[in-house]
Structure 1
């Protein structure tokens, strides 16, 4: 049976995490949940969380509606959770690292900073395949339609298991409960779904604010497709050598 680690960066109590774990279990995967004990958004592929003596603290949890699925609240960033899972910290080494469902889209080159994506990429460089899943809820959501991700997660789980180890998909889904949108493959936009702007700078500190990404994203990019109402997926590469040589011949 295919073993799946389900994690996220919103924390162990996130409804999106619970929905993704249930989807994976219903799809016949052997699921273990291990997620940060607290919010870890923006942690990228950070491996912070170990104490000064090297220990990483976690505790077993029983999650409502997920009885029978092992679940752990971990005092660590999601990428570190994926890393220690690859060494058997939570049982069998995962074949898949499923990260999400994130509260907010992860598109464009800004996915570099996403803890959701960082966990999936860390799984990919440690012998698994990864899937990061995010729901485009905007800046001020009133409702969360987690079930909107269901058909796309199931489709990509099937596809992912046919791919080489190290493959990582980044999925973003519109937040609505209407008819399923079409799934399109998109390139990474130059910016993300949100961007930061400097609002103050002096000798002692600087301040950043988060603002909506401006309209007019590149046609065919993940941000543009998502804004047009499509679900979007991108196969993303983890750390590897660049085509451009550092030294001239």
Structure 2
């Protein structure tokens, strides 16, 4: 399988290199293309840093992966996934792995995630995609368990490859040395960590992350992840709402 590895934390993220190594060890034909700088919270935005639609691409090398093509791209992950589908980094990928993200992506707030946005963009362009996130919380330890996230993700690689083109899975893994089997879940209304806007007197506002208040829906991705379980949620990309009585 031809696999693109991308993320929204940027080309220098240890989680990106760990996921690329995991895909290569699985026997897939791997190419890495990721934002040259952090692009968290960019959803599926098609923004590049160049003028007149031109996006800079720089060849790089990741530790321990000397034989894998690596590209640092001055663009958000959604645009990278789109460019990959149109042959910018070699033959279009059959699989897109996005992550490993530094922080969970759970609940309906995944709408804003660049990690998930890349996976959704890949799906509407014919690839199967897996977004992978590590639940480091607001007070992460000194050494996130990237290898745990990759090991759990690898248990889904063959299943993902056998699913229909356009499939998207969203995986979240607890930040610990070991975790149990992956549990399939639905999306929570919100996650354990939420974005908070603080309005200032001068009309400006500040965006911060805070611990969410209220109980998490039992059985949801946010709830099970908070209990120490790895969770996976199949996602639909953009589609019409056939239930609306207009």
- Structure 2 partner of 1:117: 116
2-structure distance, mates of 1:154, 1:29: 11
- Structure 1 partner of 2:149: 149
**Residues 116-171 of structure 1 deviation map (CA, whole Å, 9 limit, x = unaligned):** 00001100000101000000001121220111123321121111111111100000
- Structure 1 partner of 2:12: 13
TM-score by length of 2: 0.96
2-structure distance, mates of 1:182, 1:90: 34
In structure 2, the residue corresponding to 1:5 is in which secondary structure?
strand
8 A contact 1:104–1:137 mirrored in 2: yes
1-structure distance, mates of 2:208, 2:179: 33
In structure 1, the residue corresponding to 2:172 is in which secondary structure?
strand
Aligned pairs, number:
245
- Structure 2 partner of 1:234: 233
**Residues 94-126 of structure 1 deviation map (CA, whole Å, 9 limit, x = unaligned):** 001100000000000000000000001100000
In structure 1, the residue corresponding to 2:162 is in which secondary structure?
coil
8 A contact 1:111–1:192 mirrored in 2: no
8 A contact 1:102–1:116 mirrored in 2: yes
2-structure distance, mates of 1:96, 1:193: 29
- Structure 2 partner of 1:185: 184
What is the CA RMSD across the aligned residues, in angstroms?
A: 1.4
In structure 2, the residue corresponding to 1:233 is in which secondary structure?
strand
Show structure 1 runs of 5+ residues with no match. Answer: none
- Structure 2 partner of 1:56: 55
1:43 aligns with 2:48: no
Segments of 4+ in structure 1 off by > 3 A? none
In structure 2, the residue corresponding to 1:102 is in which secondary structure?
strand
